[in-house]
């Protein structure tokens, strides 16, 4: 086709978790859609974030289980690691397979995909450029879904032995030592992954605890596991500078105003992400209003200050989560198609693939109390669950937060094995307006990890059976 002067009902800029989902939903609703992606379909999450990190974390768990099965009578010997083969498996059997699936979905839904970088010329036209060509595209509506990138600290510019999460996930050999600046979910996930493969880990976290934002009874269990892996964790620590040699990095940092140093093969910086609303995109030039930290201001349907231009994902307010972006993509596509769809952020689960896993949804006990709720809580330990014991994974608990007056489920927090797979039931309960009694009266299969949700509800209602 002649791409020099194309017209589309909908232009989607960015093919990540939000963008490609928005394109598919819009195509299902009859729109002629063009998706422009400057790198790879699937975006950061699929190519250098959520998905490859979970693949490597899974491999690290398998390696640890081989060395320490945890069941008397099982002994493993002579276990070898070929990290380059693990990386090939991660890429070919996980990332590439999923990416191929997205390409197939684009064809099935008759979505035009162009690889290139989009720059707004006007509020109805973009220039799309790549190494081969450059051309203009006219559109009726546009969804901007350009995502985010790792925050770079001035004293620690990315390159060489100073890594972002992207480079860390692409290492072909297991480092002997890594210093991690930032003890949030990315730093802890990758830190534990490398530690399980034998890397010596040092974590520098500026807050008073790792994984700030989670309750201390949750983070305490993860901290204990980090210690058992031989990791050194400094909290209230501020990284100051770095010295580089050909084979090492030395980081100078302060803890309680005391200066210290640590040396490693690499330093990994994981202090958050920045929205990709700057650069050549040109949102400001066409009058799209940006707010705090460069985030795009949108209404409940995702519309920007220009009603025919929408924004979703990491570039609008809210947690930078792939599943939030995908949800927003569907809502915005439906709004463009004329359906009465608006954002409803009542339930956004948060998961950390640490060891043990952490999952949270809705209100914590503290948040509910701060809102003046007469709180009812129930906590059930994995140590009292048959399935957890049979998996030799008895650390952690399931906690439910409810309203004492109405019995409504308001939130839930889980720390323990497979927490990521257990949180959806609590999310659904909140979304549907279910009560603690509804959960108790739902028959849960035995022996499963899932029945702990019902057990926690029984604790909250004052009639626990198994504790």
3-state secondary structure of 226: helix
Please give the pLDDT value at position 4: 55
User: Distance between CA atoms of 35 and 146, rounded to whole angstroms?
Assistant: 11
The strand ranges marked E within 154-231 are 162-163, 177-181, 200-204
pLDDT recorded at residue 68: 86
* The predicted structure's pLDDT at residue 1: 38
Binding residues for FAD: 54, 314
Q: Tell me, yes or no, if 446 is annotated catalytic.
A: yes
For position 365, what pLDDT does the model report? Answer: 96
Q: Please identify every stretch of the chain with a pLDDT value under 50, giving residue numbers as ranges.
A: 1, 3
The 8-class DSSP code of residue 91 comes to I
Domains and their CATH numbers in the chain: 5-150+274-336 (3.50.50.60), 162-271 (3.50.50.60), 356-461 (3.30.390.30)
Task: Count other Cβ atoms within 10 Å, centred on residue 238.
Answer: 13
Q: Tell me the binding residues.
A: 54, 182-189, 205, 272, 314
Bridge pairing between strands 117-122 and 112-115: unpaired
Supply the DSSP string of 384-434, one letter for each residue.
Answer: G-HHHHHTT----EEEEEEETTT-BEEEEEEESTTHHHHHHHHHHHHHHT-
Rounded to two decimals, the pTM is 0.95
Identify whether the C-beta of residue 325 lies closer than 8 Å to the C-beta of residue 306: no
Calpha distance 258→238 (Å, rounded): 10
Q: Which two tokens stand for residue 121?
A: 């010329």
> Is residue 426 a contact partner of residue 409, using CB atoms and an 8 Å limit?
yes
Dihedral (CA of 441, 445, 447, 449) sign: negative
Of the listed 7, 446, 463, 466, which one is catalytic?
A: 446
- Ordered DSSP codes for 268-290: EE-S-EEES-STTS-TGGGT--B
Distance (Å, whole) CA 266 – CA 111: 42
- 143 Cβ contact partners less than 8 Å away, ≥ 6 residues apart: 10, 11, 12, 13, 19, 22, 26, 302, 310, 311, 312, 329, 332, 333, 336
Tell whether the torsion through CA atoms of 376, 381, 382 and 384 is positive or negative. Answer: negative
Structure letter (DSSP) for residue 76: -
DSSP state of 156: B
């Amino acid at each position: 086709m002649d791409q020099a002067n194309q017209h589309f009902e909908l232009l989607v800029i960015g093919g990540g978790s939000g963008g490609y989902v928005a394109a598919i939903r819009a195509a299902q609703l009859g729109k002629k859609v063009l998706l422009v992606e400057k790198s790879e379909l699937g975006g950061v999450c699929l190519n250098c974030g959520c998905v490859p990190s979970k693949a490597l974390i899974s491999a690290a768990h398998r390696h640890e289980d081989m060395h320490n099965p945890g069941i008397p009578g099982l002994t493993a010997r002579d276990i070898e690691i070929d990290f380059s083969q693990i990386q090939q498996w991660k890429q070919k059997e996980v990332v590439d397979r999923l990416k191929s699936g997205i390409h197939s979905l684009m064809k099935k839904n008759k979505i035009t995909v162009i690889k290139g970088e989009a720059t707004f010329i006007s509020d109805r036209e973009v220039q799309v450029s790549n190494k081969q060509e450059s051309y203009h595209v006219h559109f009726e509506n546009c969804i901007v879904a350009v995502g985010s990138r790792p925050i770079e600290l001035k004293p620690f510019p990315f390159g060489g032995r100073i890594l972002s999460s992207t480079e860390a996930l692409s290492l072909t050999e297991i480092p002997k030592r890594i210093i991690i600046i930032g003890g949030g979910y990315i730093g802890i996930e990758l830190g534990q992954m490398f530690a399980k493969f034998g890397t010596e880990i040092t974590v520098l976290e500026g807050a008073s605890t790792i994984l700030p934002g989670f309750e201390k009874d949750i983070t305490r269990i993860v901290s204990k596991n980090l210690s058992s892996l031989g990791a050194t964790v400094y909290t209230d620590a501020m990284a100051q500078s770095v010295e580089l040699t050909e084979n090492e990095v030395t980081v100078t940092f302060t803890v309680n105003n005391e200066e210290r140093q640590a040396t490693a093969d690499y330093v990994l910086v994981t202090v958050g992400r920045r929205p990709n609303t700057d650069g050549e995109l040109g949102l400001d030039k066409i009058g799209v209003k940006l707010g705090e930290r460069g985030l795009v201001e949108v209404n409940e349907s995702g519309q920007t200050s220009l009603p025919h231009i929408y924004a979703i994902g990491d570039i609008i307010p809210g947690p930078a989560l792939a599943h939030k972006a995908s949800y927003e993509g569907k809502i915005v596509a439906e709004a463009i198609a004329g359906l009465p769809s608006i954002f409803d952020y009542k339930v956004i689960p948060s998961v950390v693939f640490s060891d043990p896993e952490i999952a949270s949804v809705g209100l914590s006990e503290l948040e509910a109390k701060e809102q003046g709720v007469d709180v009812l809580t129930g906590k059930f330990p994995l140590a009292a669950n048959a399935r957890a014991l049979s998996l030799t994974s008895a650390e952690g608990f399931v906690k439910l937060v409810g309203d004492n007056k109405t019995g409504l489920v308001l939130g839930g927090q889980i720390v323990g094995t497979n927490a990521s797979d257990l949180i959806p039931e609590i999310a659904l309960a909140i979304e549907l307006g279910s009560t603690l009694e509804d959960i108790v009266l739902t028959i849960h299969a035995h022996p499963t990890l899932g029945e702990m949700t019902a057990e926690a509800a029984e604790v909250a209602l004052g009639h626990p059976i198994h504790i």
